[in-house]
Amino acid sequence: MDEDERRIRDQLMVADALVQAIDRRDEVFQMIEDSEDVDEAIRRVGQLLAVGALGSRAVLDQQARRFTRDQRQAIASHAEELRSKLPDGP
């Protein structure tokens, strides 16, 4: 896998994690609220969404204003664009 493909796959992983987090926002916010610290929140959100540290950190770094339907659609569209750039899909 070349560097461009790796970068696209990383971006896609983050976009997919964000879409999942938006779809499950109540659960995600509860996990964050119930966590003792940021490291625990990263771990718990990652487990909830079945994503790695990169994806769960992106979710925690996401501003609450981006958890809207229009932002979800924009992120999902970006994910599809990224998928189309991969030779064999994700």
Express each pLDDT in 58-73 by its tens digit: 999 999 889 999 999 9
User: Does the structure show a pLDDT above 60 at 90?
Assistant: no
Cα 10 from chain centre: 10
| Residue 89 pLDDT grade (very low, low, confident, very high; cuts 50, 70, 90) | low
User: Does the structure show a pLDDT above 90 at 1?
Assistant: no
Say what the pLDDT of residue 46 is: 97
Length of the chain: 90
pLDDT in tens, 7-46: 999 999 999 999 999 999 999 999 999 999 999 999 999 9
| Closest-CA residue to 23 (of 54, 1, 51, 52) | 51
Higher pLDDT, 76 or 88: 76
Q: Please check whether residue 37 is in contact with residue 6, taking contact to mean a CB–CB distance below 8 angstroms.
A: no
Say what the pLDDT of residue 18 is: 97
